[in-house]
Structures are given as C-alpha cells and as structure tokens.
Structure 1
C-alpha cells in the first residue's frame, strides 16, 4: 500500500515538475530576447508530452521535484531550474567539442564552425548562469564561486580520462576516486549546489548526497555500455580496468559489475526516500529498467531485483 501511495505521489510530483520545466524554458527564451543576435538563437525545447519528457529530461524533472517537495518558493525554483539547464548545456557543449557531436538544447544558427559554436554557447550560458546565480542569491558572489569550483572539479576528472597519460592502466579504485567522482557523482550533484547553499535546508543536503550516489552508478553503467567506444577513443573505462585486474570469467565479472551498479543506484535512491521523498525501491527499480533500456542493455534487465 505504501509503495502504491509513493508511486502516485512521485507521478504527481513529476507532472508538476514537467509543468514547471515548461515555464522555466519560456523564461529562458524571454531572457535571451535582449541580445542583438536573438534571431540566431535556436532553442530545442520540444513541445513534447509528459511521457516523452520523462524519457529525455528525467533527472531534470527529478531535481525540480525535489524543489517542490522541499516547498521552495516558486520564483527561486524557476531560477534554480534555469541554472540546471545552463549547466546541462555547458557540459553538453564541452562534450560536443571533445567527442565531435552536435547535441544540446541551445544553438547559434549563424555559427558554422562547431568548435567556435560550442565555445560561444559555453560562454553564453556561463554568463547567463552567473547572472541567474547572483539574482537568486541576492548578489552573493560566493554562490557563483561554488559553482565554478564544482565545474573545475568535474573538468579535472574529465582531463584524467585520456589513457595516454598513464604508464599502466588505472585501477578501478583510482577511476572511481579520481574520474567517476567528477564526471559521475559531482556532475549530477552540481545541479543542487546553488539551492543547497541558498536554502540551507537539510533536505537539500540529503537530496544532493543521494544524487551523487546515483550519478556514480550511472557513470559506471555508461562505462559498461561504452567499453568498446572508450577503447577506440583512448579513454579510461571502469569495466575495462576490472576485466584487466580481476581474475575471473568475463561474463560472470560483467554480471557482478552490473549488480554492484544497481545496488549503488538503490543506495542513492534510498537516501532520497529516507529524507521523505516519495521513492521506494520498487520505484527505483522501474527507473533503472528504463535506464537500462535507454542505454541498450535490455539483455541484462532481468538481473534487476
């Protein structure tokens, strides 16, 4: 009975977050109308259904739902939501340069060179991020410093992925501590850095810790799916390290690896539940099933328990 109530409450929270996200997107579009090159700015804020948004923006909606659950004032929730989107775009634009991709939510149509385009969008979003942070923090410059320091920490972890800088392949402990810590845990947790600082709410601290654990699990899941791609691109990979150093049959090791990923994710969701957020292990299992599907791991869904 408790699980059913939690599922219904979570669905309602996510629906409210979806409606909030649409307002946030409109606010962003309105803010950028002040630029002379406003006609060159393209926003990929799809007019999609709630179901489609859950697939594309699940963790954004989850973060927004923590604001609603913590009863933060609507004006600040909108500011925090804008900060989340700017952070997403900064990370995506950086990845676009590293991986030669064209992903994102915000584009400048007149810029044809991809490196120039992504560099400008990063500057563009960083400026908007700083302005919004100063606005919601009422001019507290420490808030902007906290975000930049967190971005720096993530950048350090990203810079350690190039395998050519190592004499020997890094161990799994090294990868978790020095690489996944930034590109996994802190990358998901960073979205709550400003609300955690400004609200001074114990709930936000707990939500942040839960998101960190979930982020670590998601990066480990990505390493499972991307092991061949990472090898081709010369990037360090957690599963590859375990295969190299742990002497056991490969398929058994993969199953043990995924079971550990799942348990770590459940630990993160449990931190949310312990704070009063309406997510049970059953709900977390449904989310993990969807993540397995989205990452092309349908053959392994049966190990979820």
Structure 2
C-alpha cells in the first residue's frame, strides 16, 4: 500500500451533503450514531450512540405479528389461484439456524419498510387510522395475509420514545445513550459541543443511513428538536434522496478523493516507516 487515508463516516456524510460543519445522524441496522462534524473533523467527545436500529425494529416486528414467519427459501414457489390459499412449506432439516434467522429478519425488514411509518407527532393508537389511514395488507412468503394493526403501523415510533429501565444508572450520559430517543441523542450530542457552534449544528442536521428512509423520520426529528431547543435556534433537518442517504459515506468519499489537495492528506509508506503509528494517530484524529 503506497499511501493511506482514514476518515470517519460522519465526515463523509457531511461532505456528501455539501457541508463542512454539520450534526450527522446516522440511522442504520445496528443502531444510531450522532456525530458532530466541525470544519471537516468529527468531534469525538460529542459522539452519541444507541443500539436501537433496524435490527432492533425487526425483532419487534416479529414479536408483534404473534405468528412464525416462514423463511423465503422454505416456501415452494407456486402461483396462488384462489383467495386464502397458501403455499407449501418445504423441509430442509440440515439448514443452520442462523441462515433461517437471516431470512426471517429479511422478511421482517421488508414488512417494516413496506407498511410502517413514523407520525409527525406522537399519536395514541386510537388516532392512527384517523390521522394516517390504513396501509395495505402485507403478504407473507407462504401466502398468508397480515392485516396491519395501528401498533404495527407506527412501530418505528419507538425510536422517538424514551425507554426507562427499572434500575437506571446514575450516569446521565449512559442513560441517554442506552434509553434516549433519537431527538434526545441529537440534543445531547449538540450540548457536548462548544456554545459558539451549537446554532450552526442545529441548522445543519444531516440524516443518513438506511433506517433514515423510514417515512416520517425527517419531519418527526425536526418537530421534536424544535420543541427541545430555545426559539432563537432554527432547526433544519437535511434529508437527501433515498440513494444519497443510503450511500452517503461512499458519495462523500468520492467527493473527498476528487479534491486537488487530497494527496497532501495521505499518509505515505515512507512517512509511516520514518515516524511510525504516532503520526497516523495525530493526522487521522484517532
């Protein structure tokens, strides 16, 4: 390897949105990461993370259905001629459980992305149908039809609710990361930044990651943050197209690599051999 450059994904997402300073909200399958970026560098002490992500929601989808989800590979491919008919299930006794769990989670993810959404404001279950309407039923791989109840319809709304455990830790920062809603995570990350850059951070909240494609996320996040900050701060949530949000790190990396000054940022093999890993730690803010 003749040269190397290491950069945080939040910095790349900010570059993809055309900003050098931003509060990047990365919502992915594994969880949520809030990374404040100032002048092209991530402020590591202000980063806030949560384990509640797409995988967490998929588990809730499986629980809320109250019925087993057949993996796609175990369903015989056959057309359904009459209403209510189901497809035959095939038996593969040597299939590893992890492979079955993967395909069950894939169906749960597809169901969540197809019928679930987040309301702009917190709604009671009795108000869901009136405010959001009733989504179309979802067909499972075996042909069974799932009627989407209000609880399942707004299931991702749990991301904007604070989870309170019985034995809460005395560490406030740990409580926010483990139990806080997405809006509380963003607010906590901005609060860890210097006072003079908080206004710019709140005016440039950048959404990225596959989970951010859930309908209603930008509107709900902007609404919640506006209520949490003083009226002098204007909250602006930037949500690019679905492709740009899903591949924001790759797009930002392409933009960074195309800069004429990018070669000056590299760590060459000669520099590493002369100085060692301490230069990498200093240059890449590790």
The answer to whether the superposition gives a TM-score over 0.5 is no
The alignment's TM-score, normalised by the length of structure 2, stands at: 0.25
The alignment's TM-score, normalised by the length of structure 1, stands at: 0.24
Q: Higher strand share goes to which structure?
A: 2
Of structures 1 and 2, the one with the larger relative CO (CA 8 A, separation 6+) is 2
Larger Rg: 2
Q: Higher helix share goes to which structure?
A: 1
